[in-house]
Amino acid sequence: MKMEDLRGKTPDQLKGELLSLKKEGFNLRFQQANGQLKNTSRIRLVRRQTARVQMLLKQMAKGN
């Protein structure tokens, strides 16, 4: 998801997105530990997307 898409969302929507990204990250790490993960690059993408959402939430809380 692009930053423009994320900036258009409300804080509640971003929190929901963050929750789903964290769940997906957990599932990906679990699959990797079991040797079932096919697309290892997805872990990196989810981790970066999580950081983007967290950054936006902090900026909104700060008032920027």
Q: What is this structure's pTM?
A: 0.87
Give the separation between CA 37 and CA 18, rounded to whole angstroms. 22
CATH class assigned to 3-62: mainly alpha
pLDDT in tens, the chain (64 residues): 788 899 999 999 999 999 999 999 999 999 999 999 999 999 999 999 999 999 999 999 998 6
Query: HSE on the CB side for 47, CA within 13 Å?
Result: 7
The pLDDT of residue 63: 86
pLDDT value at residue 2: 85
3-class SS letters over 1-64? CCHHHHHCCCHHHHHHHHHHHHHHHHHHHHHHHHCCCCCCHHHHHHHHHHHHHHHHHHHHHHCC
